[in-house]
Amino acid sequence: MSEAGGGRGSGSSVPQRAPWSLVAATAALCLVSATSVWPVGAAPMSREEKQKLGNQVLEMFDHAYGNYMEHAYPADELMPLTCRGRVRGQEPSRGDVDDALGKFSLTLIDSLDTLVVLNKTKEFEDAVRKVLRDVNLDNDVVVSVFETNIRVLGGLLGGHSLAIMLKEKGEYMQWYNDELLQMAKQLGYKLLPAFNTTSGLPYPRINLKFGIRKPEARTGTETDTCTACAGTLILEFAALSRFTGATIFEEYARKALDFLWEKRQRSSNLVGVTINIHTGDWVRKDSGVGAGIDSYYEYLLKAYVLLGDDSFLERFNTHYDAIMRYISQPPLLLDVHIHKPMLNARTWMDALLAFFPGLQVLKGDIRPAIETHEMLYQVIKKHNFLPEAFTTDFRVHWAQHPLRPEFAESTYFLYKATGDPYYLEVGKTLIENLNKYARVPCGFAAMKDVRTGSHEDRMDSFFLAEMFKYLYLLFADKEDIIFDIEDYIFTTEAHLLPLWLSTTNQRVSKKNTTSEYTELDDSNFDWTCPNTQILFPNDPLYAQSIREPLKNVVDKSCPRGIIRVEESLRSGAKPPLRARDFMATNPEHLEILKKMGVSLIHLKDGRVQLVQHAIQTRGFVASSKPYNGCSELTNPEAVMGKIALIQRGQCMFAEKARNIQNAGAIGGIVIDDNEGSSSDTAPLFQMAGDGKDTDDIKIPMLFLFSKEGSIILDAIREYEEVEVLLSDKAKDRDPEMENEEQPSSENDSQSAEQIASRSQEIDLVDQESPEESSVNSHPESLSPVDTDSAASVSSSEQDSNPVENLETTSLDGECTDLDNQLQEQSETEEDSNPNVSWGQKAQPIDSILADWNEDIEAFEMMDKDEL
């Protein structure tokens, strides 16, 4: 890290450089280091080529910024297709996306420090004058607190940081007297009423003129906010406090972070996507590193870097450990449930998570950063851009792309860490794609659909704030930038805050931080980043060797549906119905639902709800002979009309089911042969078919671990007859059973229905062929545009779901037909420990339906949050 010049001067100009706190210096080291030599591997890029690409970035920025200034300013954003400004209220509302627009010339403010990074000092000076002259922060408009903080407050502070740097240098900005900082302070005070909650979590929206409470404010009734919305304030607020000496901002942001930390799910150490700002209850309990949470994690680590406060690193490390344990499934990052972190919450990833490899570089965890980045790059190579959401088998899930910068950000940080010219080539591709597919005569237009190349009349301000900064810096040598970039930290909007703030105005009390953390086992925490000087020069092919196995991970994945549809067309069979194709008005589709025991209710607001009927089978139990049920039963008269008990093992579940069905059983209970196994300790799982068509199996089957199974076996030993109710609604069943006449002691029968309460039922009546089933995958959901007109049925991960056609992708990139996979799983399962075998993540159908609803909410939320 280089030494910056000392400082004095007016107001809050650059103070005398304090010695760096060790924490800030070590963490920041992760960003620098290996750019120097790259002896082998990808061909090094010549200085000329890098300069050429840098110039191309400059030209592209001019095209975007110039058109904004010419055709849109002072509006918040440029509409590049119609070549005019987007003024809120004058255009059809786009919903919550518009909450970023506060009639405060958003794009200009967001672009301020980019101008300096791109060496456009003169333009910066002009832009600052325009902001001071034209921007009004007191408009009667409801804005997102989160967006206003990261884009506007951050933009003003970034502008101020570089204005005082330039002034210090003595050539530009000599007239500057902290005016941007005064504006930032004014805006900071305008945002403070949002924190008027008992929890200290901010309301998601505020009226710039009227605040929250007044009737004119038209906001303040919200109960929920996203975790990132509440947890992405500390950098800007602390910087504001430290620049101005007004500690209140840092205090408020700290309080919100403290509350989120308190509310983390204590056993998984994960946080949900949305939280009730009054009660602190998690409203959405899914957890990932993308939409809704992303920058909360980013700010914990960066707050440690900027403020030198160990507690932030401890929190970050605790969360990071949980992320790597549950969410990271290299190269994928998959959302899970905070209470059930082994359970994936969906089968798709959103584009916002592309920032995460960059954060991992800052943390010093290079390997998974390289892996995820490589996976993302392959998705980009396939679709030219990162679609807003894509599935685990890399199909487009949500086809928009609003020119997001996260992938460029990670590319930059990976290049800084590895010095591998491969990342320069990646950057070159990004530039080419932007020019080829997004460039229009009046700027750059967001992609409406990456598959068709269609555009949206939208150029978000973050495109100028972040994309050009990271792309320019990627190709720039030290001498191409007029200041030392390593003296600054990037906010989530890529605004620059000087690291010297770590030792300035440290007057905010760090409430309880030390006592709170003494209980944490931090023995595994990394307090420093790996020294990449050592890491890479020793093995210059290190990064390449990590990428190599993933080279074709996307290409080799299965284009879900297409092959199946073609195959089934050839064979004359009907292609399976996909969730996205489901029509609530199509009788055939409804019939499929009916077969699943699911009916559809039309809600008043146009949405549809799926309700599953409890499936119940009631009967006396009888042991089958042979007890393993693997061959024709020798005691069909004993099991006829009864629920047959069978021992697990030796053959497929489906085979057992067929044998007892042929003997006339009305259901089956498979009891685990692993002595001592229990649903208390073993993860729930679902029995799968045998890889063949199981439509012939009409009886319900239940699996019980040994402990629960022994309740039935003991009961049989004690009583002559034991009656059992198989149901997927065990908990709801009690009153019904209570009303039934209890078996008399004369006939010695006993109800054992309670044993089913934690077991999994598989209703093979409803089970479609295994190729239409899935393990560990999750429901598809509707994109918001679909919700009004058509219902999209969850393609559940349960193998009993006929709606979704699926294959899964193995991590070595090979397509794995689920038939085979299930067969393999079933085969191995028969002899293996259920605690560690297939289907561990399976869920009961009602939980799937709940998840499906959550997915719909997730999309709605994604739309709202920060997309």
Q: Which of left, alpha, beta for 95 (phi over 0: left; psi -120 to 50: alpha)?
A: left
Strand partners, 282: 275
The Cα 154–Cα 236 span in angstroms is 6
Per DSSP, helices labelled H in 521-635 are 532-538, 542-547, 562-571, 587-595
For ligand DMJ, which is the closer residue by CB, 261 or 462?
462
Strand partners, 79: 84
The Cα 597–Cα 591 span in angstroms is 10
CA distances from 266 to 297, 310, 325, 340, 730 (A): 16, 20, 14, 12, 28
The Cα 771–Cα 817 span in angstroms is 7
To the query of whether residue 48 is one of the catalytic residues in this protein, the response is no
To the query of whether residue 125 is one of the catalytic residues in this protein, the response is no
- Classify 841 as helix, strand or coil: coil
For ligand DMJ, which is the closer residue by CB, 406 or 708?
406
CB of 150 to ligand DMJ, least distance (A): 6
Strand 286-287 relative to strand 336-337, pairing: antiparallel
Answer whether 72's CB lies under 8 Å from 129's CB: no
Which of 236, 406, 409, 863 is catalytic? The answer is 406
CB of 466 to ligand DMJ, least distance (A): 6
The Cα 259–Cα 315 span in angstroms is 12
For ligand DMJ, which is the closer residue by CB, 301 or 726?
301
The Cα 520–Cα 526 span in angstroms is 14
The Cα 586–Cα 592 span in angstroms is 10
The Cα 749–Cα 102 span in angstroms is 72
Kind and range of the H or E run holding 763: strand 760-763
Answer whether 38's CB lies under 8 Å from 423's CB: no
For ligand DMJ, which is the closer residue by CB, 155 or 498?
155
Neighbouring residues of 617: CB distance < 8 A, sequence distance ≥ 6: 643, 666, 667, 699, 700, 725, 726, 727
Q: What is the DSSP string of 344-362?
A: BS-SEEEGGGGGHHHHHHH
For ligand DMJ, which is the closer residue by CB, 302 or 404?
404
CB of 346 to ligand DMJ, least distance (A): 19
CA distances from 499 to 143, 330, 362, 476, 491 (A): 29, 33, 15, 21, 12
CB of 386 to ligand DMJ, least distance (A): 10
For ligand DMJ, which is the closer residue by CB, 312 or 355?
355
For ligand DMJ, which is the closer residue by CB, 410 or 805?
410
Which of 77, 251, 335, 388 is catalytic? The answer is 388
To the query of whether residue 294 is one of the catalytic residues in this protein, the response is yes
CB of 284 to ligand DMJ, least distance (A): 18
Neighbouring residues of 862: CB distance < 8 A, sequence distance ≥ 6: 291, 292, 350, 388, 389
The Cα 687–Cα 702 span in angstroms is 8
Angle, alpha carbons 242-246-247 (nearest 5°): 75
What token pair was written down for 394?
Answer: 């890399």
CB of 546 to ligand DMJ, least distance (A): 26
Q: For residue 56, which of 126, 118, 122, 125 has the smallest C-alpha distance? A: 118
Which of 110, 179, 294, 456 is catalytic? The answer is 294
CB of 492 to ligand DMJ, least distance (A): 4
CB of 423 to ligand DMJ, least distance (A): 19
- CB atoms closer than 10 angstroms to residue 581: 17
CB of 866 to ligand DMJ, least distance (A): 5
Q: Which residue type is seen at 813?
A: G
What token pair was written down for 674?
Answer: 């692993």
CB of 228 to ligand DMJ, least distance (A): 7
For ligand DMJ, which is the closer residue by CB, 409 or 780?
409
Contacting residues toward ligand DMJ, per CB under 6 A? 150, 295, 352, 404-406, 462, 492-493, 866
Q: Which residue is nearest to ligand DMJ (CB)?
A: 492
CB of 294 to ligand DMJ, least distance (A): 6
For ligand DMJ, which is the closer residue by CB, 356 or 542?
356
- For 128-144, give the secondary structure using H, E and C: HHHHHHHCCCCCCCEEE
CB of 581 to ligand DMJ, least distance (A): 30
- Classify 522 as helix, strand or coil: coil
For ligand DMJ, which is the closer residue by CB, 155 or 540?
155
CB of 771 to ligand DMJ, least distance (A): 37
- Classify 489 as helix, strand or coil: strand
For ligand DMJ, which is the closer residue by CB, 151 or 395?
151
For ligand DMJ, which is the closer residue by CB, 318 or 461?
461
For ligand DMJ, which is the closer residue by CB, 467 or 621?
467
CA distances from 709 to 338, 674, 694, 756 (A): 30, 11, 25, 9
Kind and range of the H or E run holding 328: strand 328-329
Omega before 331 within 30 of 0, i.e. cis: yes
To the query of whether residue 70 is one of the catalytic residues in this protein, the response is no
Torsion of CA 533, 536, 539, 543, to 10 degrees: 170
Which of 147, 309, 335, 456 is catalytic? The answer is 147
What token pair was written down for 424?
Answer: 């320069």
Q: Which residues are catalytic?
A: 147, 294, 388, 406
